[in-house]
Amino acid sequence: MWRPIEVEEWSRRRKGELKDVSQPVSEIIELVRAQGDDALLELTERFDHVRLDSVVVDDERIEAAFDQVEARLIRSLEEAASRIRRFHEMQLENQSWMREVEPGITLGVRLTPLERVGAYVPGGRACYPSTALMCVLPAKVAGVKQVVCCTPAPVNPLTLVAMRIAGADEVYQVGGAQAIAAMALGTSSIRPVQKIVGPGNVFVTQAKMQLRQQVEIDFPAGPSEIAVIADSSGDARFIAADILAQAEHDPNSPCLLITTDESLAKRVGAELESQALGSTRKEIIQRAMGNSGYVLVKDVQEAVMISNRVAPEHLSIQTEDPDSTLSAINNAGSIFLGPFSPVACGDYASGTNHVLPTAGYARLYSGLDVRHFCKACSVQMLTKEGLQRIGELVTSMARAEGLEAHAASIEVRLRR
């Protein structure tokens, strides 16, 4: 099960089969475009085997969900929400600013929230109340007025509770590519949104990518993955536990250990077999291990080079000097330093966001944060003194480009 693996092979395995679902996703989108809610109801029955009268989840049902969830779980969600909110509030600090950069010239940035966004919360193999928190809370912290949640039917009460705690404004029981199409295009029940965030399977990811002409998205986010950089100081039990925690998400979840120590890699393999024995999701883990393995390197510097190349969603650094290793990391969705920073803490309650780019997209995208829900407008104010300072510079450049009216708009002010 646990074996050496080539980096290129590992990268191929984690890409998923997006191209294979392109045509069926296109057909789903066109069906939703043409038939709206009727298509959502028909597709929900076809794919999720649930017959619905409406995709709307009303307030009464959400409130009733609180009576179906243990009080201790509600308290856990509330505490996790508080930590996630705190982290995302810190991201707003110094995001809007105005500063006089030289006499008479004041420049700045004004950050304004989007008005209506959609959050996709997966269902299927498990319920993900944590993803509801991760998607909705940063949007609300950013100031988004309307946050719409879609999640597959039947909806777990725990997910509904999390959506209410996070502040979701509308909830719909529809999943898959059809949910993405509904939020992007709109139906009689679901008004369209400006942006869609949240992870999903290849159908969800393909739909997000196909609909980018109608709606903005966060980034492609497929099956969860982890890479671990470890030297001889790494603890095989901890590394195996982190790998299994991601492998249990999905049979396509790829896991990679990059290590300088072959004996550590073999001990991790033994721990994986031992710890997986009692797992309730053993079958999923075993299939995920088919996409996983380890790479031996000569030193930590080579490990960092490989990690930057594959740009993992989750990167665990378990080396003798994790801070030094971190300083050379450029590409990763979320980074976990040292042996006592399990990825699961970031998944739930440390406060950082677990909605992250996968399959190497961390080379291009950042994980979900407050800025995904905002637009930045530049601001400038010049006094007459400031205009005099740069007037000749602007007019000379404008005339060099043949734009006489641009130059005139400066000179008409300076002649007053």
How far is residue 319's CA from residue 300's CA, in Å, rounded to a whole number?
Answer: 8
* Integer CA distances (angstroms), 101 to 107, 214, 386, 388, in order: 7, 39, 10, 15
Specify whether the CB–CB gap between 148 and 193 falls below 8 A.
Answer: yes
Q: Which residue has the tokens 């991201």?
A: 91
126: number of Cβ within 10 Å? 12
302 is catalytic: no
CA–CA separation, 244 vs 260, rounded Å? 21
At residue 365, the pLDDT reads 96
Burial profile 83-113: b = 16 or more Cβ within 10 angstroms, e = fewer:
bbbebbeebbeeeeeeeeeeebbbeeeebeb
Contact 150, 176 (CB under 8 A): no
Backbone torsion region of residue 287, taken as left when φ is above 0, otherwise alpha when ψ lies between -120 and 50, otherwise beta: alpha
Whole-angstrom CA distances from 52 to 153, 154, 179, 378 are: 9, 9, 14, 47
Of 220, 262, 287, nearest to 1 by C-alpha is 287
User: Angle 404-414/384-400 helices, nearest 10 degrees?
Assistant: 160
Residue-wise pLDDT tens for the chain (416 aa)?
A: 799 999 999 988 776 677 889 999 999 999 999 999 999 999 999 999 999 999 999 999 999 999 999 999 999 999 999 999 999 999 998 889 999 999 999 999 999 999 999 999 998 667 899 999 999 999 999 999 999 999 999 999 999 999 999 999 999 999 999 999 999 999 999 999 999 999 998 899 999 999 999 999 999 887 899 999 999 999 999 999 999 999 998 888 999 999 999 999 999 999 999 999 989 999 999 999 999 999 999 999 999 999 999 999 999 999 999 999 999 999 999 999 999 999 999 999 999 999 999 999 999 999 999 999 999 999 999 999 999 999 999 999 999 999 999 999 999 999 87
The answer to whether 49 is a known catalytic residue is: no
Residue 367 has phi, psi (to 5 degrees) of -65, 165
pLDDT of residue 220: 87
- The domain locations on the chain are 7-16+223-351, 18-97+112-217, 383-414
Q: 18-97+112-217 belongs to which homologous superfamily?
A: Nitrogenase molybdenum iron protein domain (3.40.50.1980)
Give the separation between CA 197 and CA 373, rounded to whole angstroms.
Answer: 9
Q: How far is CA 61 from the centre of its chain?
A: 28
Domain 7-16+223-351 -> CATH class: alpha beta
User: Measured between alpha carbons, how far is 353 from 363 in angstroms, rounded to an integer?
Assistant: 17
Annotated active-site residue in 88, 314, 354, 372: 314
Q: 3-state DSSP call for residue 112?
A: strand
pLDDT at res. 222: 79
Amino acid at 368: L
Q: Which of 88, 170, 313, 372 is catalytic?
A: 313
Which residues 6+ apart lie within 8 Å of 23 measured at CB? Answer: none
- Rg value, the chain, Cα: 25
Instruction: Kindly list the distances between the CA atom of residue 120 and the CA atoms of 147, 189, 226, 229, in Å, as whole numbers in the listed order.
Output: 11, 16, 22, 31
Is the overall model pTM greater than 0.85, yes or no? yes
Please report, as a single letter, which amino acid is at residue 70.
E
Structure tokens, 301: 């510097």
